[in-house]
């Protein structure tokens, strides 16, 4: 096992707040769902999560510090190895939790984006029809022109409503992520 302090980029006397902060920053940067499932980033994320699992648990941290920072040449005991196995399991739990969160909200985000795109298409189409009609009327020397109020209003309402739905979804995801990070404290 590599040094968890080095993996998280914190000194060996780092406070728990600094360890948490480093973990959160690195986990968000390296999570596979954010990085398109990159195997390299997945491995790096697991390494970060495992390091955090060791340093966040006072018992595991004590074992790490006593066997690796204290200069002790003692062999790792079976009990000590089981703590590292638990850390690995915790790292996998963190990864799975974040992955399930991303997968759960993905269809809702996609639906909101699609709805906003449709609304914007109607809005832009209505504006283009209106300006095209106006330009044709002006070039023909006057008269009446067509205003596509229905398309403009429908598109505008659809786009704004979809935009706010997308914001609500992102806010809900942020709230769940905040709770998730509290779980792994």
**pTM value?**
0.50
Q: Who contacts 112 (Cβ-Cβ below 8 Å, separation ≥6)?
A: 162, 165, 166, 169
Under the banding of pLDDT at 50, 70 and 90, the label for residue 81 is low
Q: What is the pLDDT of residue 184?
A: 58
Ordered by start, the domain boundaries in the chain are 4-183
**3-class secondary structure, 10:** coil
Q: Does 71 have pLDDT greater than 70? A: no
Q: Where are the alpha helices (DSSP H) in the chain?
A: 4-8, 16-30, 39-56, 58-64, 78-139, 149-183
Q: Which of 5, 45, 11 is nearest to 25 (CA)?
A: 45
Q: Does 72 have pLDDT greater than 50? A: no
Structure tokens at 18: 């600094």
pLDDT digits over 128-143, tens only?
888 888 888 888 887 7
- The listed range with the strongest mean pLDDT (77-81, 93-97, 102-106) is 102-106
- The listed range with the strongest mean pLDDT (12-21, 34-43, 91-100, 136-145) is 12-21
**Main-chain phi, psi angles of 24, to 5 degrees:** -60, -45
The share of the chain scoring above pLDDT 90, in percent, equals 4
pLDDT digits over 99-157, tens only?
777 777 778 878 878 888 888 888 888 888 888 888 888 888 877 777 777 777 888 88
Q: Which of 117, 130, 126, 127 is nearest to 158 (CA)?
A: 117
Q: Does 77 have pLDDT greater than 60? A: no
Q: CATH for 4-183?
A: 1.10.287.110
Measure the CA–CA gap between 108 and 89, rounded to whole angstroms: 30
35-39, 72-76, 177-181: which has the minimum mean pLDDT?
Answer: 72-76
112 in Cβ contact with 173 (< 8 Å): no
90 in Cβ contact with 24 (< 8 Å): no
- Which one has a higher pLDDT value, 160 or 35? 160
Q: What is the pLDDT of residue 8?
A: 92
């Amino acid at each position: 096992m590599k040094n968890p302090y080095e993996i998280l980029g914190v000194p060996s006397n780092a406070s728990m707040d600094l360890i948490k902060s480093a973990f959160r920053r690195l986990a968000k940067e390296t999570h596979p769902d954010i990085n398109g499932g990159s195997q390299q980033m997945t491995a790096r994320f697991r390494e970060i999560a495992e390091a955090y699992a060791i340093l966040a648990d006072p018992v595991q941290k004590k074992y790490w510090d006593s066997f690796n920072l204290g200069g002790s040449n003692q062999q790792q005991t079976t009990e000590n190895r089981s703590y590292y196995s638990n850390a690995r399991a915790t790292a996998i739990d963190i990864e799975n939790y974040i992955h399930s969160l991303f997968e759960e909200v993905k269809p809702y985000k996609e639906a909101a984006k699609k709805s906003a795109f449709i609304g914007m298409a109607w809005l832009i189409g209505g504006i283009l029809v209106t300006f095209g009609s106006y330009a044709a009327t002006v070039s023909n020397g006057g008269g009446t022109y067509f205003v596509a109020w229905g398309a403009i209003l429908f598109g505008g309402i659809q786009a704004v409503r979809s935009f706010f739905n997308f914001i609500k979804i992102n806010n809900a995801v942020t709230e769940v992520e905040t709770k998730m990070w509290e779980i792994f404290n």
